[in-house]
Amino acid sequence: MNLARQPGLLIRTILTASAVALAAVASSPAPSSHAAAPKPPDAFAERMKLYARISSATRMDWRTLAAIDQYERTMARAHPRTRPIRKDAISGIFIPKERWSGELNPDSDDSKPGSIRFFHGIGRDGSGDGIADRDNDADLLFSVASQIAKYGNGKDDFAIGLWEYYQNTRSVQRVEQFRKIYQTYGKLELTQHAFPLPVSSVYSYRSTWGNRRSWGGYRIHEGTDIFAGYGVPVRSTCFGIVEVKGWNPFGGWRIGIRDLDNLYHYYAHLSGYEKSIKPGDVVRPGQVIGWVGSSGYGRPGTQGKFPPHLHYGVYRDRGLVEWAFDPYPMLHRWESAEKKALKVDRQK
């Protein structure tokens, strides 16, 4: 059939084809504006891969590498301006340019392992590409681990290596504490928290940060007071290690716990401790460590100078000193999360 000689038929054919095409387009699924974004990589899995790689190269246990890396990460958080790390970094390691390349090296950005060693820099190639890249996670962790491992992997050797690298007793203590926590639980993801009192108990609290205190001299209140009856259980809020336990003239019977974020959790005015708890023990969120009381403001054993309550404070280690900050927002967040979890459990 010659459509060119039948204009009406030609137009009807074109319109029919167009309609079919439009129908096909209309029936095809439209691209979703809410398409699932690529799943971000599991940070803990990525770290484990890095630790396994450096462990095979240095024969240093992954828990030891994790402790070093985590300490470095906490220092980067405490000093973001002077210890910057990349946003996409897997490791928390920071090494200044002059230490990486060598103080007398004329090229502060040197990435050649040979010339770096010549100028006594610590930069090393941990990735196997022949380059000592200060922006490479494997190179960074391998460089630090190599320096610390020079003295051996025994307990005393490790402590000496840490001291030689950091020149800071506090740093040595922190890395060893973190290693013990990782050794106890055998995993990296230890980020859960708990409210310091059972959320099913009767208690009350509000933000008391900065309030004035007069006993022992005028000072500000560095923490949050949670009022409850005598004997209400006091629980660890985190995975951590017991650092201090005993009497304090201000806090009475108190206990201090260090967590993997290098935060010191301070629990004061207790009426007593859980008997099995001692300094050096590793604890978990929700584990009972003592009971609410009213001890303090006097000689050992002084009780009753104020209503029973838990004084809860948090201090961040900045390397040489520690600074307190207001724990109220964290307490409120942990309390809400725990109450929500209990509500979900009851509905099951």
What's the pLDDT band for 209 if we cut at 50, 70, 90? confident
Q: Minimal CA–CA distance to 196: which of 100, 295, 314?
A: 314
Phi, psi of 116 (to 5 degrees): -65, -45
Report yes or no: 126 and 139 within 8 Å, Cβ to Cβ: yes
d(CA 236, CA 257): 8
Burial of 213 (0-12, 13-18, 19+ CB in 10 A): middle
What is the dihedral angle through the alpha carbons of 320, 326, 328, 330, rounded to the nearest 10 degrees?
Answer: -40
The pLDDT assigned to 319 comes to 86
Q: Is the dihedral of CA 106, 111, 115, 118 positive or negative?
A: positive
The pLDDT assigned to 24 comes to 40
Angle (deg, nearest 10), helices 155-166 and 137-149: 120
Average pLDDT on 217-221 reads 59
Average pLDDT on 25-37 reads 41
Q: Is the pLDDT of residue 47 over 50?
A: yes
The DSSP H or E segment spanning 266 is strand 263-273
Q: Is the pLDDT of residue 228 over 80?
A: yes
pLDDT tens digits, one per residue of 287-303: 999 999 999 999 999 99
The pLDDT assigned to 347 comes to 78
Report yes or no: 263 and 70 within 8 Å, Cβ to Cβ: no
Q: Minimal CA–CA distance to 75: which of 2, 132, 154, 144?
A: 144
d(CA 257, CA 272): 16
What's the pLDDT band for 10 if we cut at 50, 70, 90? very low
What's the pLDDT band for 13 if we cut at 50, 70, 90? very low
d(CA 94, CA 174): 17
Q: What's the predicted TM-score (pTM) here?
A: 0.84
The position carrying tokens 């099995």 is 276
Portion of the chain with pLDDT greater than 90, in percent: 78
Please report the DSSP string for 274-320 in residue order: -TT--TT-EE-TT-EEEEEB-B-SSSTT-B-SS--EEEEEEEEE-SS
pLDDT tens digits, one per residue of 238-263: 999 999 999 999 899 999 999 999 99
Question: What's the DSSP call for residue 226?
Answer: E
The pLDDT assigned to 214 comes to 52
The beta strands (E) that lie in 88-131 are given as none
Among 26-35, 129-138, 288-297, where is mean pLDDT lowest? 26-35
Q: Minimal CA–CA distance to 231: which of 204, 202, 208?
A: 202
What's the pLDDT band for 20 if we cut at 50, 70, 90? very low
Question: What's the DSSP call for residue 270?
Answer: E
What the block records as the tokens of 337 is 């999360």
Among 45-49, 64-68, 321-325, where is mean pLDDT lowest? 321-325
CA end-to-end distance (rounded Å), the chain? 72
Report yes or no: 287 and 267 within 8 Å, Cβ to Cβ: no
